[in-house]
């Protein structure tokens, strides 16, 4: 299959990376909630934040994905997104410090992703807020795709009582240039099935 893309479609293979799938019914009693900096708030998407989310996403994903942000992240028909925001010291200017989405796959299964954040405490706060969107979340199968060697996210997943799959390799390919995404801010992929960072 790699040869097909490389030889017929001029894709360049960058590298493999290991992915793990987290799944199961979360146990919220085991999850340690962060002591967030008081200037950070978790809010719902709003018109005045759309371009700030697009700009933050571009910093993480390495490219401008405005259309994708507007349609997948902010307007997913079966999803709910939350945004972490803060004010710079001495300023009224709102800055995005992360965002995440949870969406229904079917009646009993939900998927978290993407989830991008400045640090672990923001990621934890976003996960907690996303899971709280469903009153019956402990009865649902929650899924997340994560990088296999990301100890920060693995720790959160295990605290939630989710199972981690064996890791598998996923190829990274491009046609024009390699996309320089920020792995340190990427806690959960959008969806490994469609290969979005």
How many whole angstroms separate alpha carbon 126 and alpha carbon 41?
Answer: 10
In a domain, 194, yes or no: no
Give me the pLDDT at residue 14, please.
61
Reference 170, options 192, 186, 143, 144; nearest CA is 192
In this structure, is residue 197 part of a structural domain? Answer: no
| DSSP characters over 90-132 | T---EEEEEEEEEEEEETTEEEEEEEEESSHHHHHHHHHHHHH
Note whether 172 and 130 are within 8 A (CB).
no
Q: Compute the distance between CA of residue 154 and CA of residue 157 in angstroms, rounded to an integer.
A: 5
Closest by Cα among 162, 192, 34, 190 to 99? 190
Q: Is residue 195 part of a domain?
A: no
Give how many domains the chain has, as a whole number: 1
The answer as to whether 193 is a domain residue is no
Report the CATH number at residue 35: 3.40.630.90
Residue 102 lies in a domain: yes
pLDDT tens digits, the chain, 197 residues: what are they? 556 555 556 666 666 677 889 999 999 877 777 777 778 899 999 989 999 999 999 999 888 889 988 887 777 888 999 999 998 777 788 999 999 999 999 889 999 999 999 999 999 999 999 999 999 999 999 999 998 889 999 999 999 999 998 877 665 655 665 666 788 999 998 765 544 44
Note whether residue 39 is domain-resident.
yes
Three-point CA angle 91, 83, 101, nearest 5°: 170
Residue 130: closest CA among 86, 107, 99: 99
Helices (H), the chain: 2-3, 9, 50-61, 66-68, 120-132, 151-159
Domain range for 35 is: 2-188
Residue 40, domain member (yes or no): yes
């Amino acid at each position: 299959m790699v040869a097909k893309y490389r030889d017929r479609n001029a894709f360049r293979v960058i590298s493999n990376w290991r992915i793990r799938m987290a799944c199961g019914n979360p146990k919220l009693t085991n999850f340690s909630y962060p002591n967030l900096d008081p200037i950070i708030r978790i809010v719902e998407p709003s018109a005045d934040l759309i371009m700030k989310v697009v700009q933050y996403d571009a910093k993480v994903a390495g490219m401008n994905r405005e259309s994708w942000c507007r349609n997948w992240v902010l307007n997913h028909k079966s999803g709910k997104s939350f945004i972490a925001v803060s004010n710079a010291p001495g300023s009224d200017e709102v800055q995005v410090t992360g965002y995440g989405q949870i969406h229904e796959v079917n009646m009993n299964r939900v998927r978290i992703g993407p989830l991008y954040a400045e640090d672990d405490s923001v990621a934890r706060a976003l996960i907690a807020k996303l899971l709280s969107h469903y009153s019956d979340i402990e009865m649902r199968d929650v899924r997340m795709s994560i990088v296999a060697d990301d100890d920060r996210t693995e720790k959160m997943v295990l605290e939630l009582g989710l199972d981690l799959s064996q890791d598998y390799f996923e190829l990274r390919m491009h046609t024009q240039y390699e996309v320089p995404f920020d792995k340190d801010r990427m806690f959960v992929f959008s969806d490994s099935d469609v290969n979005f960072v």
